[in-house]
A and B are shown apart, each in its own frame.
Chain A
Amino acid sequence: ETGVTQSPTHLIKTRGQQVTLRCSSQSGHNTVSWYQQALGQGPQFIFQYYREEENGRGNFPPRFSGLQFPNYSSELNVNALELDDSALYLCASSRGGTGSNVRNTIYFGEGSWLTVV
């Protein structure tokens, strides 16, 4: 039990539709990151939110966007869904900071399985 909760756990969408995935971070964690994990692959970093602002982004197009709320929970939005967007979407929380000595342990939720048909 990591204290990171995600919803929904499974969903099916049609190509071209939009999807919103939600994440509640572990208590005391102010940084949320989102990852995409295709079948048989390691997770790929999408972006990170720290104090409600995007703070780092991986190699994903602008149709992948997010939000972080004052309680540090977060949403991942994907517009104009494509078949290749079918994957497990993982949310991870950590206690971010600006000091180089921050021991940043990152905990993952169970993920949201997205199937695009």
Chain B
Amino acid sequence: GQQLNQSPQSMFIQEGEDVSMNCTSSSIFNTWLWYKQDPGEGPVLLIALYKAGELTSNGRLTAQFGITRKDSFLNISASIPSDVGIYFCAGGYSNTGKLIFGQGTTLQVKP
């Protein structure tokens, strides 16, 4: 099926470091969403972006909707052990429940 190109695939970092991950697409979206998924659970929404150029923060998380509407990034500052998990980007459209997901970025944090 159709997917976004999400990178990096995995990261292993030291506690306290900053993290950056991004998604690119050949298609234009008018919604970008970032989710975190822990093992055995459903994805939990972290940040939702609705407008090209929009920069939104949620605590230590910051995400931006690319100007071209074909990309987005997520930054995590001062990582902590509970940030461990799989992060997914998803592109979508305003009036539909259909999302296209990236392959995920697995984050591991060393205390």
Contact = CB atoms under 8 A, between A and B. Distances in A.
A102 B35 CA distance: 20
Contact of A59 (B1, B6, B96, B101): B1
Interface stretch (B13-21, B37-45, B60-68, B74-82): B37-45
A114 B73 CA distance: 32
Contacts of A109: 42
Interface residues on B, range: 20 to 34
Interface stretch (A11-19, A38-46, A78-86): A38-46
Given A42-B3, A42-B102, A45-B99, A104 B42 contact: no
Given A42-B3, A56-B96, A58-B1, A104 B31 contact: yes
Interface in B9-38: 30-31, 33, 35
Contact of A104 (B1, B6, B95): B95
B35 A108 contact: yes
B111 interface: no
A107 B94 contact: no
A113 B42 CA distance: 11
A2 interface: yes
Interface in A22-55: 31-33, 35, 41-45, 48, 50, 55
Contacts of B43: 43, 90, 108
B52 to A, nearest CB: 14
Contacts of B88: 42-43
A96 B98 contact: no
B103 interface: yes
12 contacts: A6-B42, A33-B99, A43-B43, A56-B97, A92-B99, A96-B96, A96-B97, A98-B95, A101-B94, A104-B94, A108-B35, A111-B41
Interface of A: 2, 4, 6, 31-33, 35, 41-45, 48, 50, 55-56, 58-59, 88, 90, 92-94, 96-111, 113
